[in-house]
A = this chain, B = another copy of it.
Amino acid sequence: MKTAIKASGASHRMSAEDRREQVLKAAMAEFAIHGLDGTSTEAIAERAGISQPYIFRLWPNKKDLFLATVDACFDRFEAVLKKTAEGRSDAEIGAQLQAVGHDPSGHPHLTGPGARLHAMGHAYMRLLAKPEAPLMQMQAYAACWDDDVRRLVRDRWNRLRTLVSELSGVEGRELSEFFARGMLLNVAACMHLPATGDPARWAHEVLGFA
């Protein structure tokens, strides 16, 4: 009964590695909404287009799948930051900078470390446009009551901080304020504070920029 071939899954017989990636994507969508405890492996399997027992062939248990999902999340995040840092001298980015208008006090924002950091902030906002991105982050933080989750999140968070510091050349308090703004954008995105996905409006309404 019911010939399956569900959802996004091109159905049959792919390499385990590809399958893992596919399942991770499905897992992220489900975990982002229902969290570690609230997500059923059945729902993940259905979304990935495979049977539920097969998940336990790819990962030993649900928590390990959650950990892998969080890990992949940070991976994707780091990749975006690196790519942004590489293309940081593009004219396009300079234009976007001025559109958002983030330099009220005497920082040298259109060049140097501040500019790089600002470009990264902008890239982060674009990343938050996917609705599961901020939710998944919240779920990761919320799941920090579990020791293993907390260890992973702390490690990746520290890696992220040093990565941003190295890529931008910014340190200390200014760096912390960057992450602080990011966290505020997170909760704003969860709340759908900007009905539109336009990052410029986010900056205006949420961060209170002029």
Q: Contact residues of A with B, CB < 8 Å?
A: 32-39, 104, 131, 135, 138-139, 141-142, 144-145, 150, 153-154, 157, 172-177, 179-181, 183-184, 186-187, 190-193, 206-210
Contact = CB atoms under 8 A, between A and B. Distances in A.
**Which 10 pairs, one residue from A and one from B, show the smallest C-beta to C-beta distance?**
A37-B38, A176-B208, A183-B183, A138-B142, A180-B184, A180-B180, A173-B208, A35-B35, A38-B38, A141-B190
B142 A190 contact: yes
Contacts of A190: 141-142, 144, 150
26 contacts: A33-B145, A35-B36, A35-B38, A36-B38, A37-B39, A38-B38, A135-B142, A141-B187, A141-B190, A142-B190, A144-B191, A144-B192, A150-B191, A154-B191, A154-B192, A154-B193, A157-B187, A172-B208, A173-B208, A176-B207, A176-B208, A177-B207, A179-B184, A180-B207, A183-B183, A183-B184
A115 B141 CA distance: 30
Contacts of A141: 138, 186-187, 190-191
A207 B179 CA distance: 9
A186 B182 CA distance: 12
Given A144-B190, A183-B183, A193-B154, A175 B135 contact: no
A75 B177 CA distance: 28
Given A190-B144, A191-B141, A206 B153 contact: no
A126 B179 CA distance: 21
A192 to B, nearest CB: 6
A161 to B, nearest CB: 10
Nearest to A174: B208
B173 A207 contact: yes
A189 B183 CA distance: 13
A203 to B, nearest CB: 10
A77 to B, nearest CB: 14
A192 B150 contact: yes
